[in-house]
Structures are given as C-alpha cells and as structure tokens.
Structure 1
Amino acid sequence: GTDTLSISGPGSFDLNSLAAFTGFENVNLTGTGESLTLRNGQNLAVNAGSGNSVTLGAGDNGVTIALAGSSDAINIAGNSDTLNLSGAHDVVTVTGSSDTVNFSGAGSSSGLKSDSDLTVTASSTNVNISGSGHSIVMAGDNDTISMAGVVNSTMYLNGTGNNVTLTNWTGVTLEGDNQSLSVSSTGSVTGATVTVAGAHDNVTVTGQFSDPWGVIVSGTNDSVTVNGSSPIHLVSDNTSATLAASNSVITIGAGPSPTGTGSNDTVTVAGTHDHVNVTGNNDAVTVGTYYDNADANEVHVSGSNDSLVFEGGFGNIISMEGASDQLLVSGFYNTVNISGTDGTSRLYGYGHTVSVSSSNTTQTLYAYNDTIGVSGNGLTLNFITDPNPGNPSGSNHLTVTGSGDTISLVGPQNTVD
C-alpha cells in the first residue's frame, strides 16, 4: 500500500534527523508555520497545508520546503508559497498562485543544478533560476522569471503577461497565441534568444542582446517592440516590429531555423544606427516619424513589391536591390543605391548621393538637387526633377558611365555628363 506522514503542528522537521519515520511515500502538511527538509535521495510527493509567509500548500499561507535530495517530485498546490530547491534532476510542478520558487543548488554551479526540469502552471508567480541545461515550462499568467546564469537553458511560455529576464546563453520561447510578454536582459548579454512562435502575440524586448540570434519571430500576425539594441529576425508573415532604440539589426525573410518567407511584414524604425535587411516580399518598412527623424540607419531591400519610407533624417544608407520596390525619402544628404528592377524611387529633400546600377530594366527616379551616377547597361531611366509635379524646379547632376542606356529627363536645370 501507500503510507502517508501527516504533520499538523508548527515547527521544523528534518527527515534526515527523524530516523524513526521511514517507509512512507507521501507527506501531508496541514498546520501552519512548518518547515520541512526532505531526506536525501528519497522520492516523496509533498502536499502542503496552510502556514505562514514561507509557504507551500493548499492554503493561502503555506510552509517552507527545502529540497536537498535528488530525483524528487514536488507539487506546489497552494498560494503564496515558497520553495527553496538545491537538488539535481528534480521535477517541480507548481499549480498554485502567487508562489515563489528559489533555486540555490550547491557546488560549483550557482543555483539549481544542471539538467533539471521545472513546470509552472500557476499565475502571479516569481521564479528565480540559476544553473545550466534546464528545460522550463511556464503555463501561468503574469509570472516574473529571472534566469541568472542559467547557461544553455530554454524557457517555454504558454501564458500571458509574463516578465522574463535573460542572461548569457539563455532563451525564452512564447508558444501560445494572443499573449503578451516582456523580456529584458541583465546588461549586455551574448547568445540569448527570444523566440515568438505563436500567433497574434504582443512582445516587448528591452535590453542589449547580441548574436546569435537575438529576437526570432516565427509566428504570424505578431507585434514586437524592441527598446534596446538587438538582432531581430522576422521569418514569418504578417508580423509588425518596432525598433524604438538604436543599434539594432533586423532581418525580414531570412534567418535561423525555422526559416520562412518573411512576407507582408511591417517594420517601424525610430532609433539611429539600426540595420534593416528586407529579403521577403510585400513588406512595409518605415524609418523615423514626422516628429522624430531617424539618422545614420542602413536599410537593404532585396525582396519584391516592398515599400520603404524614410520620414526625414540624414546620413542614412539605402539600398534598393529587389524587384518592383517602392522608395520614398524625405530627408537630406542620404546615400541611395538602386540596383533592382522595375522600381520607383521618390527622393524628397536634397543633397542625396544616388547610384543607379540596374541593367536591362526600367527604373523611375524623382529627385531634387541631388548628385546621381548611372552605371548600369541597357537601362531605361525615367528621371523626373522634384517629386512634386506642381513644382518642377531643381538642379540635379547626372553622370552616365554605362552603355546602351535610355534616359528620359522631365524638368529644367539638369546637367548630364
């Protein structure tokens, strides 16, 4: 049969010291103010009762449990409970709410020892994790998770309103749909990965993440806001991303596994010194806003039917390398490289340096007081001075070094070499 040890009074109970209590499989804590230390190596299922501020159990107060053994199973069913865990290869399931789980394994590894599993289905829970090689599943809502020094560990989330702090070589994957997640870093971290795999999710990333891979969006119809410097990969379709800080790198349509087309995405860049690569199709990228210009950014567009808009700013580098792409620039003194096919580029402002190297295709270019070099062969260039047809003024200078080109000029005061 199955034997059960029931403890109902307050106090501390160390099963390593209570040698007379042996042969039971379950422990029930039904009192208050209890502290239980499990015997090393003994497989026990603990169902805690109610207690004080240090808690585990079915009540709103609970007990304190120190788990020092190995290969143990604990069910935290109560609310406002605390678990202090230092064993290895343990499996922990949390079904209560407002619980706190602290991992502080001994030895050279700080925190929970390697290769342990944690499953948390509770809500409003605080989890502090250290160690290495963990697989962590969080299914509750409004949880706060800190992964301090948890090398080569990944957390899988299927709840909403969670807050996660990552360190070097840790990862979090949002698997659910219609969920929200906030991710931050402990300073500048390397090898941390944020994966958005669900649909219709809203994710905010704050911090400094470096390759590999940063933020990976593989779900659909997701919204991602990045407030710190980080590489971002949009490998799915119908996703929106906002780069609110600076020094970020975003790639649309290609990236780490899983790969995807990265089509029909929307990206807004509000910072400076960001790098955007667009390899998908039918994407829309906006750099800067009417009130806040973005400077010194670099954008490469190699997909098809993409739209790129620069709202002001200067010192940006723009490369249009795809087919049937649309460019609108309203800033000053930007560098624009056009090498794709059948595109249209409208350059508001002035002082841009433009290179058109497309060959055997047609390009349409609107410009005003810019320096333009044409080096493609067999190019048909429809060149119109000033994007505003009602003000056909301006003075552009074209230098043509290619062969077999056909250039149509509309507007006065242009010079051609």
Structure 2
Amino acid sequence: MKFNFKGRYFIISLYALGVLVAYTLFSSLLDNMPVFLGYLGNFMGILTPVIYGFVLAFILNPMVKFFERVSAKALDKKKPHPRINRGLAIAVAFLVLLIVVVGVVALLVPQLVTSLSDLAANIPGYYDTAEKWVLKLLDDFHISEDQMHMVQEYWDQIINDLVNWLKGFIPVLGNAAFGVAMGIKDLFFGIFISIYMLLSKDLFARQTKKILYAVSKKTIADRIIELTRQTNKVFTGFLSGKILDSMIIGAICFLFMALFGLPYAPLISVIITVFNMIPMFGPFIGAIPSILLILLVDPWQALIFTVFIILLQQADGNFIGPKILGESTGLSGFWVIVAILVGGGLWGVVGMIIGVPALAVIYALVRTGVERLLKKKGMPTDTNDY
C-alpha cells in the first residue's frame, strides 16, 4: 500500500506536530529565560566590534558618497578605478572625522577638566551654602530648636551616606576604566570592519538582493528592498540632522554662557548638547542638572540661565530644528512621545534616540499597507474623508 504524503490527515498531522514542537520550544525558552538572556548577552558582546563597525559605516556613508561624487568629477579625465575612488573617499571621510574628534577633544577636554576640578574644590562651600538655606528656611517657618536639631541630624546622616556611597563608587570606577579599555579595543576593530563595509557595501547589497529574490516572491522582495531604502533614508536624515542640531544648540549655549560669565560653561554646554539628541524631553532633562549646578553658585545667574534655556529650546523647537530636520519623520507629537517612552523603556537613552525614526518607519509601513488595501476596495485614502 502506497502512503499518500499529500493526504489531508497527513498534512493535519504535520501542522499539529509543528504546533507541538513550537509550543515545547517556547515553553522551554520561558522556563530558561535567564540562561537564554545570558547566552544572548555573551553573543552580543562578541558581536560588539561588528555593531560598532556597522554604526560607524552608517554614520560615515553619506560623507563617503559626497567625497565619491567630488573625486569622480575632479578625476573624470583620468577615469580612476571605482574601488580606488571609493578608497580615497573613505580615507578623506575618516580624516575629516579624526580632525573633528581631535579638535573637539582639544577644545573641550581641558575646559571640562577645569570645570570639574572647580566643582570638586567648591563642594564644601556649596554644602555650607545649602545648609544655610535649609536653616534659614526652617527659621522662617518658626521651627523649634528640637526640630531643627533633628533636621540637622538627618542632614548629617544624608552627607555621611553620600560620602560612603562615593567611597563605594571607587571600585565601580575601576570597572568602568576596564570597560572603557575594552570599548577602545572593540572600537579599534570596529573601525577596520567599517572600512571593509564601506568598501564592499555594493557587493553586500547585491548579495542580499540575490538571497531575497531566491527565497521569496519578487513582489515581496521588492517591498523589503523598498522598506530598507525608506528605513535608511529616515534614519540617516533624522540622526544626521539631530547631531547637527544638537551641535548648533550646544555652541549657542556655550557662547551665551561665556558672554554673560555664567559658571561651568563648557561642562553645561556638553550636557545640553548630549541630551538635546533625545527628542522633545532631552532639552529639559539636560537643563535640570545644569540649573542646579549654577544655582549652587549664584541663584540670579541660575534664573538668567533658566530663561535663556527656555528661549533657546523654543527657538530650536520652532525654527532651528524644523529647518534642519524638515519632515524626516512625519510623526505627530503624540507618536513622538510614544516612541520615546517605548524606546527608553526597552533600550534606555539609545532607545529614546532611535525610537522616533524606528516608529516613523513602522508608521509609514502601516500607512502604505492601509492605503493599498483601501485602493483595492475602491475607497478614498485621505484621512479627512473619514
């Protein structure tokens, strides 16, 4: 008797077996989630240089394209080999990056060290100032001597706990130093990987297309390729624009603080620049510790800085940011907040930064799919029609 492999009951049995195997694997994964996450963390640690290389190549790719076009026009008569032309463009892009990094380090690091040294030297004075504020506040509210003594004890306990925490933080700094050293090693290998990625990006793209068309239908492969192009466009436009916007805001902040003689100008400008990378909430997150730092020195200067930072963020949100970023995301304020909250909850600060362009891609994908389905039904695609 010949067995029918295409029979109805055989196919149902295969589906049932597949569901059972999938359920067993999923249950085993949930039961051993800590072990799985540990293996996943180790695997991601091994891939760290590759991740660094990919990110660096992604950041430098627009610059490499620009220098390729420039060198192609300049060397048009000589008709250089495309690989040589790209190699020259990559070399110039890395040279520009090196000059920018060295310039920023040379300008900021000495001033940052000075600001941090001044801050450390002035901590005892700040402690006395804060203590006087607390005692004056208690006196204004006519707090009794016993209650003031109790508050003083609590205050001393807080300071002792802070000192003990700082002492315990020393081993953490040692681990952080080791982590920085390992990070430099990974970054070193990441640079070489990024160079190879930039040199061979066309080959990688063709190989990926070849695999896609081999394992899927042409229409599906075309959609995946289009989605990839759209994702690259959104991420490149958003991240490059946000970096430029943050650098402009940081430079304006530094010039204003230096002009008005506000304290810790380099340190606070760096804080404002870094946190400005986080959409919407970043400027306020960076402004809070900055205002507190200036408040310890001079409340009047802290008020001046607060007014300035509010005006600066208004200018950035209404004029500078839109001019640079344009319509790179196409998301409303509500979806930007959702992207920041979800991204921050999953991946911290990095998630807050990449959450907005990631959701923009998902939003565009859903919108395209919905509009395609509506067209098939002969219905309007404009939201105002509903």
**TM-score, normalised relative to structure 1:** 0.18
**Which structure has the bigger radius of gyration?**
1
Compare the two structures and name the one with the higher strand fraction: 1
